[in-house]
């Protein structure tokens, strides 16, 4: 484990009680459902839904959640409270794991998230899911993957160039939170210990120099920013960001601007205080986080996705 992986692992451990200290009654959790047979926990998801609504025959809208962790660390189990929150509000939640570098690199990391989404077709055979109401969301690098999955769903030529499987579900809405969408903007950030260089180097499978200039030598460089592939086929979107984000400052507003050029409806929420930083929406004991999540659910209701 290198220092960048260690840093992201430390963040997960430190923030776990703050992000996962809230629980809801009547929520059923089913863990480690493999979306690739024999794929193990790295290609599996956790399921959350309100058992009382299921007993009443409720047809569930779906939230597919993709966790963050700098592309290098993280796990679906670290997003238990947010998934229970969505389930408590009537959603069937599919909380997806995916393989990460160094096991796989870009663009293979995209394949797992697509396979995870496509598995909703199998889950619908067992659970009463409304596959016309699938919302794809995630935080940090998971937000990146959620955006990229939408790009792949809406651009067959892009799928072909990257060798990705077809996206066999309809994405009704996209909701990225505190993510990275523009790699050129990320390259302007100065983070100690060359953490950005290490993160991106592992993602694309090459050494990235201290000045980051050699990243353009990667054959995948022109495909690293999913914001470059937005088109008029994209669904409604809701984007969350922190103005003081230590890693992703500037990413949210820029992405929101691009989304507004193409998406039929775009909702936003942001925080400007320094203490409401990266993925602030996950800190449940913070009133700003609770208001942010309530605003998101209101947006989904307005789009007929509740």
Q: Are the C-beta atoms of 136 and 149 separated by less than 8 Å?
A: yes
**Separation in Å, CA 304 to CA 36, 133, 197, 212, 224:** 31, 8, 42, 44, 32
Q: Are the C-beta atoms of 155 and 117 separated by less than 8 Å?
A: no
Predicted local confidence at residue 209, as pLDDT: 92
Q: Domain coordinates of the chain in residue numbers?
A: 3-302
Predicted local confidence at residue 51, as pLDDT: 95
Q: Where does the pLDDT of residue 122 fall: very low under 50, low under 70, confident under 90, or very high at 90 and above?
A: very high
pLDDT, average across residues 246-261: 95
d(CA 289, CA 281): 4
Predicted local confidence at residue 100, as pLDDT: 95
% of the chain at pLDDT higher than 70: 100
Q: 6 — phi, psi (to 5°)?
A: -60, -40
- Taking 90 as the threshold, does the pLDDT of residue 1 lie above it? no
Predicted local confidence at residue 219, as pLDDT: 94
pLDDT, average across residues 103-123: 97
pLDDT, average across residues 171-181: 97
3 state SS of 178: coil
Q: Supply 288's token pair.
A: 């700003």
d(CA 55, CA 63): 19
d(CA 106, CA 204): 5
% of the chain at pLDDT higher than 90: 84
Predicted local confidence at residue 64, as pLDDT: 98
In CATH, 3-302 is 2.60.40.2580: no
Question: Closest Cα to residue 128, out of 51, 64, 66?
Answer: 51
- Taking 90 as the threshold, does the pLDDT of residue 55 lie above it? no
Give me the chain's average pLDDT, please: 94
pLDDT, average across residues 256-260: 97
The answer to whether the pTM exceeds 0.85 is yes
d(CA 27, CA 25): 6
Sign of CA dihedral 219, 70, 28, 92: negative
């Amino acid at each position: 484990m290198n220092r960048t992986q260690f840093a992201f692992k430390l963040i997960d451990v430190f923030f776990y009680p703050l992000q996962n200290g809230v629980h809801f009654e009547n929520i059923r959790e089913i863990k480690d459902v493999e979306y690739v047979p024999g794929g193990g926990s790295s290609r599996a998801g956790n399921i959350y839904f309100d058992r009382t609504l299921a007993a009443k025959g409720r047809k569930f809208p779906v939230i597919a959640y993709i966790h963050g962790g700098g592309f290098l660390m993280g796990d679906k189990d670290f997003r238990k409270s947010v998934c229970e929150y969505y389930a408590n509000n009537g959603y069937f939640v599919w909380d997806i794991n995916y393989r990460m570098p160094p096991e796989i690199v870009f663009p293979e990391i995209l394949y797992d998230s697509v396979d995870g989404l496509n598995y909703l077709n199998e889950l619908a055979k067992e659970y009463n899911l409304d596959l016309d109401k699938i919302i794809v969301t995630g935080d940090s690098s998971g937000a990146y993957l959620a955006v990229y999955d939408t790009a792949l769903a809406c651009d067959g030529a892009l799928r072909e160039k990257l060798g990705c499987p077809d996206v066999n579900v309809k994405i009704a809405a996209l909701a990225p939170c505190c993510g990275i969408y523009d790699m050129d903007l990320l390259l302007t950030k100065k983070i100690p210990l060359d953490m950005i260089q290490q993160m991106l180097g592992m993602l694309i499978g090459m050494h990235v120099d201290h000045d980051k200039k050699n990243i353009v030598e990667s054959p995948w460089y022109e495909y690293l920013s999913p914001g470059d592939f937005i088109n008029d086929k994209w669904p409604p979107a809701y984007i969350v960001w922190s103005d003081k984000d230590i890693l992703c400052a500037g990413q949210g507003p820029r992405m929101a601007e691009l989304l507004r050029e193409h998406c039929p409806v775009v909702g936003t929420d942001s925080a400007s205080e320094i203490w409401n930083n990266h993925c602030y929406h996950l800190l449940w004991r913070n009133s700003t986080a609770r208001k942010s999540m309530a605003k998101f659910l209101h947006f989904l209701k307005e789009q007929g996705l509740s």
